[in-house]
Amino acid sequence: MDEEHQRAPLMTQVNFLPADIPELSHAVSMFPNLEFACVATITAKKLLKFPILNHEGMFPLLKASNLPSKIVNRKITEAHLRKFFPKEFFPITDSRDLLGKVLAALSWGDIIHGHEKFLVNPANYSPIPYKKVN
């Protein structure tokens, strides 16, 4: 590929300031899976040792007692972890690696659960979940 046709980076690094945290928190809260993945990753940094080599290495995260209620209410189980977190995700090298993989697993789970809801009741199924934002 010549220089003229080389791909530009999709995103550039933005350096946020501490004063930006309220807006960033609000933006993250608008995407429930991203919010969950962020909280899980922050908690994992305190509880888990990297690299995480297998599913069992993540189980302490499922039992964490300091998670916000909206996270606990998702009721992620060991069975969910095994189903939606493929063995190809391992090893997980660090917290940034974990963040992306948790987000991918949650997105995959949403797709699967959406199909299940459609199969159970196609007339009342909406592919676009609605979350009211204040």
**85 within a domain of the structure (yes/no):** yes
Contact 81, 54 (CB under 8 A): no
**15 within a domain of the structure (yes/no):** no
Show the domain range for 38. 29-120
**9 within a domain of the structure (yes/no):** no
pTM of the model: 0.69
Contact 84, 111 (CB under 8 A): no
**131 within a domain of the structure (yes/no):** no
What is the domain count for the chain?
A: 1
**115 within a domain of the structure (yes/no):** yes
pLDDT digits (tens, 9 = 90+) for 52-102: 999 999 999 888 766 665 555 667 888 988 988 899 999 999 999 999 999
**66 within a domain of the structure (yes/no):** yes
**3 within a domain of the structure (yes/no):** no
**24 within a domain of the structure (yes/no):** no
- Which residues have C-beta within 8 Å of that of residue 47, sequence separation ≥ 6? 60, 61, 64
